[in-house]
Structure 1
Amino acid sequence: MAEGFCSKVTAILRKLYKGLKSLTGLIILLVLYNIIGAVIFVELEAPYEKKLVIKGKPEHKELIRLLTNVAVALNSSGFEILRNKTFDLINQYGVEAMESKSEGTWDFWKALFFCATIYTTIGYGNIYPKTDAGKVAAIFYAVFGIPLAMKVLAVLGKKLMIILKFFYLLVKRCFKCKGRNNNRYTVRDKQADNVDSVELSEIDKSDMKIEQENKEERIKKEIENKLPIAVPIIILIIYIFLGAIMYTLWEDWGYLDAFYFVFISVSTIGFGDITPAHTKFFIVSSIYVFIGLALVSMCINVLIDFYIMSIKLAIHQMDVVKSTVKKGCRCGSRRQSI
């Protein structure tokens, strides 16, 4: 009974591990990690924030009272402008201060956004923990969250590269479809001419040469079939431009500010001087930025793939040169012996 139970548990754990290794499993795990982190930070930081608001209210009221007394005391005509300015400051900053205090920094949606800025390493700095427990939690959250997010981005970037490569090759083959028959005919004619010109005494040498040429052709074809670096970069640029338009509709931003925010987010610079103000768009904003990071990962994967194939071709060409030099040395030694 015990062995059967253990085997069932082992099988379930293996299936769970296999599911978590997939892209869908990793995304679900990251979403759950984000939600759990948001709940933890709200529990740690929200009570402390409420205490600060309660503590700050008497001082805030006292400041408004003093400014009001000063404004009322300035009744002479020479101080009329100064008094009006003082009342304007009371109305402006007094109301804004009360509104900002009442909204609070640590609600669930803002905490979700904060967690996303941790594991993506963007870190805008507009929301940050103030309690000791919150700071410790942020450290541990980053230690486990950053590797998880990097894994998701790597897998997602690779999947996007495969999908984009499929469509690229599909379009490329459609354009080359008409010229295939002509190309095959010319290749066959050339091969026939080469066969006729080959002498029986040079069969071994020609076989080796053909093998080397075939290997080189295979590598060159692999390089040709690889996704050009320009394609994902263009897609990323278009994505940034479209995102900037989206933020101009959501936020009270000009296009330059929106483009600036998207760029510093996708590049993980994250200055924090410009951040979204509308809480209801935080989730969509996090998803948009994360997809942008996945596109950056796709660009990196394409670049790595291209360099690997280029290195393979360079190594093959070096091998060809080495074999040619060795053959030349052997032929020279044979002639000297004769």
Structure 2
Amino acid sequence: MDLKTLGCLIVAYFIYLLLGAAVFSAIEGPIELQNCRESQRILDEAIKNLRNGNLTENRLRYLVETMALFYENGIPLSQNISCENRNWNFQSAFFFAGTIVTTIGYGHITPSTRGSRAFCIIYALLGIPLFAIMFSGLSALFGSALKRVSTMLDNKEMHPFIQNLAIFFVFVSVGFLLFCFIPAVIISAAEQWEYSDSIYYAIITLTTIGFGDFVAGDNPHMVYTPLYRVMVYFWILFGLAYMATVINVLTERFRQRGLSIKKRLTGYEEAEGENGAENGQPTHSKTSSNGEDNISRENNAPNETSSLKNHSS
């Protein structure tokens, strides 16, 4: 895939994400805003009843069940948090659309209406193949660079197995440095997480496991800039491409190594057969050819006898 085609695919991919973000935010945003205000109204009423001593058992049960339902849908339950579309504003919806087509699927927010769920199904069925095509081109771009580096690291004096292990160590070390350790520093500072939690989040994300217990840009008490969310998504995109490329390059090297061993074994068997023939040991092919010669001689014997009789007469 040439760079022009890859560039067009990347542009089409991000246009697709923008389209998905617009639809999801338009469907889910007003519903989230309504539920958030309702949760805050119920919470204010419960606090008022508690102060007045009017909080009955039934009211308390209703409060707990309602708050649990809102919490499961990602609705903030604190009076200090604004209800301005925290989960389903355009930025969050863009990030959510990206988790669909990359199949990470954190699960921290989910569509709540039939319409948005139906759209999510169609969006995934069309978006995942688009991402796969674009992703293969991006991985090929990384792969050509890594193959050049792999060629530079080839050492004729080193055992091939040790050489492959060394290349594996270099690629994995560079990958962890560029896409895990360094981004974890930035994410840890932006999210106020422990550094170990940021490392955990990076690895879980780039392996597409996506538990959803840690999600960058999802803290309701934090104010995130659009640039930060864009950087996080580009980090995920290029990190996934690098990890896939490293696996492909190393798999190809070990496959070529296996073919080389197979050729050596085949050459060894052929050499053994030639040595046996030189030492006077009959082989199957020679035996069969001798048998064919004997049969042809037997078939020609009557013809030779008849020709001798005709000659004598």
TM-score normalised per structure 2: 0.70
Whichever residue aligns with residue 83 of structure 2, its letter is: K
Q: Which of the numbers 169, 179, 185 marks the counterpart of 1:230?
A: 169
How far has the Cα of 1:248 moved from its partner? 1.8
Matched, 1:289 2:236: yes
- 1:128 aligned partner: 110
Whichever residue aligns with residue 164 of structure 1, its letter is: L
Q: Is the alpha carbon distance of 1:300 and 1:95 closer, same or farther for their aligned partners in structure 2, counting shifts above 3 Å?
A: closer
Q: Which of the numbers 12, 18, 26 marks the counterpart of 1:29?
A: 12
- 2:88 aligned partner: 106
Q: Which of the numbers 207, 211, 217 marks the counterpart of 1:271?
A: 211
8 Å Cα contact 1:117-1:124 kept in structure 2: yes
Q: Which of the numbers 18, 26, 45 marks the counterpart of 1:62?
A: 45
- Which ranges in structure 1 are unaligned for 5 or more consecutive residues? 1-17, 72-93, 177-182, 184-219
How far has the Cα of 1:147 moved from its partner? 2.5
- 1:213 aligned partner: none
8 Å Cα contact 2:187-2:198 kept in structure 1: yes
Whichever residue aligns with residue 96 of structure 1, its letter is: S
Q: Which of the numbers 255, 263, 266 marks the counterpart of 1:308?
A: 255
8 Å Cα contact 2:184-2:202 kept in structure 1: yes
Give distance in 2, aligned partners of 1:137 and 1:308: 42
8 Å Cα contact 1:105-1:127 kept in structure 2: yes
More helix by share: 1
Whichever residue aligns with residue 257 of structure 1, its letter is: D
Whichever residue aligns with residue 106 of structure 1, its letter is: W
8 Å Cα contact 2:20-2:123 kept in structure 1: yes
Q: Which of the numbers 327, 332, 336 marks the counterpart of 2:274?
A: 327
* Secondary structure of 2:81 counterpart: helix
Whichever residue aligns with residue 45 of structure 2, its letter is: E
8 Å Cα contact 2:9-2:134 kept in structure 1: yes
Whichever residue aligns with residue 285 of structure 1, its letter is: V
8 Å Cα contact 2:100-2:124 kept in structure 1: yes
Whichever residue aligns with residue 247 of structure 1, its letter is: I
How far has the Cα of 1:36 moved from its partner? 0.9
Q: Is the alpha carbon distance of 1:225 and 1:260 closer, same or farther for their aligned partners in structure 2, counting shifts above 3 Å?
A: closer
* Secondary structure of 2:33 counterpart: helix
CA RMSD of aligned residues (A): 3.5
Q: Which of the numbers 173, 195, 214 marks the counterpart of 1:255?
A: 195
How far has the Cα of 1:164 moved from its partner? 3.1
Task: Indicate the structure (1 or 2) with the bigger Cα radius of gyration.
Answer: 2
Q: Is the alpha carbon distance of 1:313 and 1:104 closer, same or farther for their aligned partners in structure 2, counting shifts above 3 Å?
A: same
Q: How does 1:74-85 map to 2 (within 5 A)?
A: none
- 2:133 aligned partner: 151
Q: Is the alpha carbon distance of 1:126 and 1:283 closer, same or farther for their aligned partners in structure 2, counting shifts above 3 Å?
A: same
How far has the Cα of 1:31 moved from its partner? 0.9
Q: Which of the numbers 32, 45, 50 marks the counterpart of 2:28?
A: 45
8 Å Cα contact 2:29-2:85 kept in structure 1: no
Whichever residue aligns with residue 316 of structure 1, its letter is: K
- 1:80 aligned partner: none
TM-score normalised per structure 1: 0.65
What is the aligned residue count? 254
* Secondary structure of 1:161 counterpart: helix
Q: How does 1:239-254 map to 2 (within 5 A)?
A: 239=178, 240-254=180-194
8 Å Cα contact 2:37-2:83 kept in structure 1: no
Matched, 1:116 2:55: no
Q: Is the alpha carbon distance of 1:23 and 1:102 closer, same or farther for their aligned partners in structure 2, counting shifts above 3 Å?
A: closer
Query: Which structure exhibits the higher relative contact order, with contacts defined as CA atoms closer than 8 Å and separated by 6 or more residues?
Result: 1
